[in-house]
Chain A
Amino acid sequence: MKLSRRKFTYLSVLTLLLSGVIFGSTALRLKNSWVLRDDD
């Protein structure tokens, strides 16, 4: 399936969130639609 540029960008953001990549100095994650800190 070919992803549109918009979908690709959005999925990249989601992936970064889900994998706990460091944004600034704080690790964030997405769970059940909540944007959380890793220590939550």
Chain B
Amino acid sequence: MILTLDQSPETLSADVCIIGAGAAGITVARKLMQQSRSVILCEAGGLDFADESQSNYQGQVEGNAYYDLEIARLRYFGGSTNHWSGWCRPLDEYDFAAKKDKPLTAWPISIDAVEPYLKETREILELETGVGDQVLGSSGLKRVAFEFSPPVRFGEKYQVELEQQKIIKVLLNANLVGTEFDGRRITAVKVRDYHGNERLVRARNFVLACGGIENSRLLLWLQRIGQLPATVQTGLIGRYWMEHPHAPVGDVVITSPHSFKFNDIALDFFAPTKAFMESHSTLNCQLYLKTTKYGGAKEVIADLLCTAPAVGEWAMRQLGKDLACVAQLKAAWEQEPVHANRITLDDKRDAFGIPRAVLHWTRNAQDLRTVRETTLAFAKHCARTDIGRVRLADWLTKTGNDLPDFDEMGGYHHMGGTRMAASSEAGVVDANCLVFGSDNFYLAGSSVFPSVGHANPTFTIVQLSLRLADHLRKQMAARA
């Protein structure tokens, strides 16, 4: 059932209390519900967008330019799936291992831990089974398969189901404002609505699933006010925050259209092989081509004509025919986990007196190396195999170490901050997403990613959430 806080009973208890009803929280809740476990799912917003909720997402950004934190995510039922674009891909097998000279990119789990949830994740996200990747000769690149969710809006898709189930209670306008704990165990959380109504929710286990910025903000605040178990002593909360930086990297005049496989939305994707990343000391990177309309194509081909008349004249002749012969080349890449990239607490506070988030985010020389080397490899592959000619973006041909600012600064992918690790010295949660130093306090969502590959995060978020629900079920069965 779905209740506003003032409609709910004074006393609330369940097997599991989940805070946050986005892709992660709803996935954990539904999986537990299917296993006949009672759940209380606390959503800070209502069923629809409202300023009184959204304004609590205001925050500051320091470092490189980044989106306004209030518009980079959504604070109502369904969370940021209410505005995501639906691009999906699992992480690569080698994304779980440490990349060359980057030990912090290692996950404490392998791909084997999440692969059992591939089929279920595809069902939830309404994806067709993807085709495999295709290595492109000795180029160091492969064509990579992306899948596209409609996109699934978790709130819309699951509202009726959650309303009809008595084993789950969704509390709307239920903002986390405090905890109670006993030793290493959280025993209750206090939630409050916008009119001052409060409820105490008791549970055997608690899952914080508020997103890649809020998980850090709320944990930092709970730690500051002494409402986390004293055994939770990590100083890493908020650290190693990551995005997928985005950039336009060039234009491609396609001389062999059948060599590209543009999908229904006119995109074709490429990424480096593991061997390329190791030999060129790069991280993972997604290059994608998007066909250009006539006006843009004409300018690009005219420039090619001036530079390389033979191929330029050929391309100009194709322009009058109905051929997609020019594409924009864009990149989105893996950012290395850096200690200084982090979430901290501001002096300013939200409507509940909780300090607002400050995002400290800077791209570095590794970012430039990754995007430059990968793009250059693609350009060489196009010319060598005579499938196209690439005009590199000016900043890629300069020797400086600085990346310019772009209109598209990232993918709205908020990852890290509460990274998963093998020990409390290296992370905030263990391989089961349990907060180090706690016995029953778990985190869900992309905040636990210790590294991020190039794939959009939602697919992995759902896989990890299904796995977390399975873990909770086993834990509760063992303790029964």
Residues of A whose CB lies within 8 Å of any CB of B are 6-7, 10-11, 13-14, 23-24, 26, 28, 30-37, 39-40
Contacts and interface: CB of A to CB of B under 8 A. Distances in A.
A34 B389 contact: yes
Interface stretch (B303-311, B330-338, B425-433, B435-443): B303-311
A39 to B, nearest CB: 7
Nearest to B312: A40
Nearest to B306: A32
B384 A28 contact: yes
A15 to B, nearest CB: 12
Given A6-B369, A11-B399, A14-B397, A37 B383 contact: yes
Contact of A40 (B311, B365, B369): B311
Contacts of B310: 39-40
Contacts of A33: 250, 391-394, 396-397
Interface string B354-388: 00000000000100010010001001101110100
A21 B250 CA distance: 23
5 contacts: A23-B380, A28-B384, A34-B303, A34-B391, A35-B379
Given A10-B372, A23-B380, A36 B397 contact: no
B407 to A, nearest CB: 20
Contacts of B376: 13, 35
A7 B399 contact: yes
Give 8 closest A-B pairs by Cβ, nearest first: A40-B308, A35-B379, A40-B311, A26-B384, A32-B307, A33-B392, A34-B391, A36-B308
B138 interface: yes
A11 B304 CA distance: 24
Given A30-B397, A33-B397, 18 more contacts: A11-B399, A13-B376, A23-B380, A26-B383, A31-B307, A32-B306, A32-B391, A33-B394, A33-B396, A34-B303, A35-B379, A35-B382, A35-B389, A35-B392, A36-B311, A36-B383, A37-B384, A37-B386
Contacts of B372: 10
Contacts of B308: 31, 34, 36, 40
B390 interface: yes
A8 B163 CA distance: 62
Nearest to A11: B399
B383 A28 contact: yes
Nearest to A26: B384
B216 to A, nearest CB: 31
Interface of B: 138, 250, 303-304, 306-308, 310-312, 365, 369, 372, 376, 379-380, 382-384, 386, 389-394, 396-397, 399, 401
B372 to A, nearest CB: 7
A34 B390 contact: yes
Contact of B389 (A6, A7, A36): A36
A26 B137 CA distance: 14
Contacts of A36: 307-308, 311, 383, 389
A34 B304 contact: yes
Nearest to A30: B397
Contacts of B391: 32-34
B472 to A, nearest CB: 46
A6 to B, nearest CB: 6
Contacts of A13: 376
A32 B453 CA distance: 32
A6 B384 contact: no
A7 B398 CA distance: 10
Contacts of A10: 372, 399
Given A24-B138, A33-B391, A36-B311, A6 B383 contact: no
A37 B386 CA distance: 8
A6 B372 CA distance: 12
Contacts of B365: 6
Nearest to A36: B308
A37 B308 CA distance: 9
B303 A35 contact: no
A13 B380 CA distance: 11
Nearest to A28: B383
